[in-house]
Amino acid sequence: MWKGARQFDFDIDTISGARMTRRIGELASRYAKGTDRLIVWVSKGIAPLPRLVGEIRRVVPSAVVIVDLDDDDAGLARAFRARSLSNAFKLNPLRVMHPLRIEASQQRSFLLADGLTYATDALRRRLPANLPATLIPHTRAEGRERLPPAAGSDRVRIGAFGTIRAHKGQAVLQNLIATYQDVELFTFQGSGMGAPGPGQDNWTEISPDTPLEEAYDLVDVALIVMDATSDGGDVQLPAKLIDAMKAGVPIVATRTDPIDEIAGGVYLPLDQHTTLEEIHAAVMAAVTSDRGHAARERFLRELTPSALASTLIAHITQISQGKGHTHD
């Protein structure tokens, strides 16, 4: 299960094998009369989801199936394999997350789907054009704005709360804390920073069970570094961007199409080839900027469930009203 799921206050029902068959049977009984419409909103559409959705469609033909895409997962998998022989071995063709298997799974999901939702217009250009689709970015419940970090530190406290990978600035973060002693990096334990090395004295790991609101209370600025030239990374919308906007913390981030689309004008942009010295200077400048409040206002206006609910409901309603075709 995705580690980040622990940050959301939802009950999670894992289904597989015999339990999956039983749960689908319950759905069939509940919706057999046709007075209610079953909505199946599928994330990513990667195996085993096509099998699950296909079975649901078999027993509840009236179900509305929508596939939600937030990443170019096949592109990310190709980039991962290309970095080393060991990575290529880890994602060999027998693995579900091999790029060709991802593409095949998603194609099966698209054939079963009545519509799509997608996280950014940058990603939309890589999705099928023949299905009704609407923009639904990452959302978060409104929550509170962050509390000012406690005084007393002579370092600027940088937050990078989320997975840290090669295309998500792993080397930049490592080099930043190894080079500059006036910054301190905060990450979740096991986030992917690698083994402690130079700069470990100004790197603090916190429990991954720490609520994000409390995590952002600890930092002065959020730093989001992306490789916009990597396959898949160029259209990835980092979830930590939305988290930082919700918290109202100043954000320094690599300028990519998805980041600019969601946060243009309320973050301090870095060019793809910005030097470490320039990144450090941007972090220092961000601390005293008002971009954090502007980001929080953008979040409240555009990225909460209440802000996007009408868009999603309209999309589902349109699909439901036009649904008259069958699926093989």
**Tens of pLDDT, residues 227-266:** 988 899 899 999 999 999 999 999 999 999 999 999 999 9
What is the average pLDDT across 63-84? Answer: 94
Q: What is the predicted pLDDT for the residue at 166?
A: 86
Residue 137 has pLDDT above 60, yes or no: yes
Share of the chain above pLDDT 70, in %: 90
Q: Which CATH code is given to the segment(s) 156-302? A: 3.40.50.2000
- Cα–Cα distance between 224 and 244 in angstroms, integer? 10
Instruction: Tell me the residue ranges of DSSP E strands in the chain.
Output: 39-43, 64-69, 115-118, 133-135, 156-159, 183-188, 203-206, 221-224, 251-254, 268-270
* Closest by CA position to 87, among listed 250, 231, 189: 231
Q: Using 50, 70 and 90 to split pLDDT, how confident is the model at 325?
A: very low
Tell me what percent of the residues of the chain surpass a pLDDT of 90.
68
The 3-state secondary structure of 120-159, one letter per residue: CHHHHCCCCCCCCEEECCCCCCCCCCCCCCCCCCCCEEEE
**Structural element, H or E, at residue 305:** helix 305-322
What's the mean pLDDT in 126-130?
93
Q: What is the mean pLDDT of the chain?
A: 89
pLDDT band at 1 (very low <50, low <70, confident <90, very high): very low
Q: Encoding tokens for residue 52?
A: 């699950």
Q: Can you give the residue ranges of every domain in the chain?
A: 3-139+305-322, 156-302
Quote the pLDDT of residue 196. 66
Within a 10 A sphere around the Cβ of 298, how many other Cβ atoms? 17
* Per-residue pLDDT at 324: 52
H/E run at residue 112 = helix 99-112
Q: In angstroms, rounded to a whole number, what is the distance separating the alpha carbons of residues 132 and 50? A: 19
- Per-residue pLDDT at 6: 58
pLDDT band at 11 (very low <50, low <70, confident <90, very high): low
pLDDT at 70: 94
Using DSSP, state whether 115 is helix, strand or coil: strand
pTM of this prediction exceeds 0.75: yes
Give the 3-state secondary structure of residue 270.
strand
Please give the average per-residue pLDDT across 75-101, as a whole number.
Answer: 95
Predicted local confidence at residue 101, as pLDDT: 97
What is d(CA 219, CA 225) in angstroms, rounded to the nearest whole number?
A: 17
End-to-end CA distance of the chain: 30
The pLDDT-based confidence of 36 (bands split at 50, 70, 90) is confident
Of residues 159 and 168, more confidently modeled: 159
Q: Would you tell me how many other CB atoms lie within 10 Å of the CB of residue 220? A: 24
Q: Are strands 64-69 and 183-188 parallel, antiparallel or unpaired?
A: unpaired
Of 264, 270, 290, the residue nearest 282 (C-alpha): 270
